[in-house]
Amino acid sequence: MTYKDITPEALAAYFDHTQLKAYAVKKDFEILCEESRKYGFKMVAINPAPVKMCKELLCGSAVHVGAAIGFPLGQTDIEVKRFEMIDAIDNGADEIDYVINQTQLKDKNYDYVEKEMHEIVSYCRSHQVISKVIFENCYLTQQEKEIMCQIAREVQPDFVKTATGFGTGGATIEDVLLMKRLVGDKIKVKAAGGIRTLDDALKMIDAGVSRIGSTASVKIVEELIHLL
């Protein structure tokens, strides 16, 4: 795909416009929501605390509010993640991106990993909320990535996601192609982490992603607009 093959509006619809910094203030979220309205981004990706505020800021728009759960380390137990998810949904979250418990995965406690995914995905499904599972691939072996995809095939979340953007590495084409191949057609792939240019985004779309998480969403869409 080249920049001539996509419109700014179609490109913007791929983006989960992201503000996950711990020190973000109200003005940052106002800007995030204003930009998302203006460009037509699919979602604002935020921590749970500002969900209610962003839902109000985006009232009347088609932009979703997405809450990051167990973020960014995934190191809380299932009950804590479940409580955090329910609270976010009660406050208006339309989408949930949760981080897996990598300790349990690496200790080969696959039943735990599947139970965690099932708890979150089933609750989201019953409340018409989109679910995304963050693998954080930079810390996983090839075998662990494959196991996560196999578990996802069983549980059927809406998306599997490459990274938090807070780890030692972000999305790679190789990981996207692997995830896309292994999870099947019913589960979509979200790329996040290190996607900062139009070229980065187009390569991810070519690889088969349905969503892109980025803090550089405005810059990327503006790059396309200036080329057309």
| Helices (H), ranges, the chain | 8-12, 26-39, 51-57, 78-90, 102-106, 110-126, 142-155, 173-183, 198-207, 217-227
Helix (H, G, I), strand (E, B) or coil at 143: helix
In whole angstroms, give the CA distance from residue 47 to residue 68. Answer: 5
Active site positions, annotated: 97, 161, 190
Per-residue b/e over 74-104, b at no fewer than 16 CB within 10 Å?
bebebeebbebbbbbbebbbbbbbbbbbbeb
